[in-house]
Amino acid sequence: MPDLSRQLRPTSDQWEWQLRGACRAADPEVFFHPELERGAARQRRDAEAVAVCNRCPVLDACREHVMKYREPYGVWGGLTEEDRERMWSQRRREERLTRRAG
């Protein structure tokens, strides 16, 4: 018989913060751009989403999640897709420099 004590257990406590997110009361379309949205329309929608995030009680947990799990789409933790890509690129550059120096 398999040892059931070593199997994975539910980890809802790791995700419970999402239940308190300000985004839950907002229109989800604010956080994810429609196909081919560009320019001023995208900037306005992103700014609206970031404004929701900036008053969110779980902003830090959301930002930690998006950076750890590399969510590719939408505004998460007050960061747009472009913001996150810049941060990930910067992190990669810093890691390369650290490896070269070490």
Q: Is 23 annotated as a binding residue?
A: yes
Query: Tokens 């398999």 — which residue?
Result: 2
Contact criterion met (CB below 8 Å) for 31 and 9? no
Amino acid of residue 47: A
Distance between CA atoms of 21 and 57, rounded to whole angstroms?
A: 7
Q: Is 79 annotated as a binding residue?
A: no
Q: Is 50 annotated as a binding residue?
A: no
Q: Is 49 annotated as a binding residue?
A: no
Which ranges of the chain would DSSP assign to H, the alpha helix? 12-15, 39-54, 59-69, 81-101
Q: Which residues are annotated as a binding site for [4Fe-4S] cluster?
A: 23, 53, 56, 62
Q: Which residues are annotated as a binding site?
A: 23, 53, 56, 62
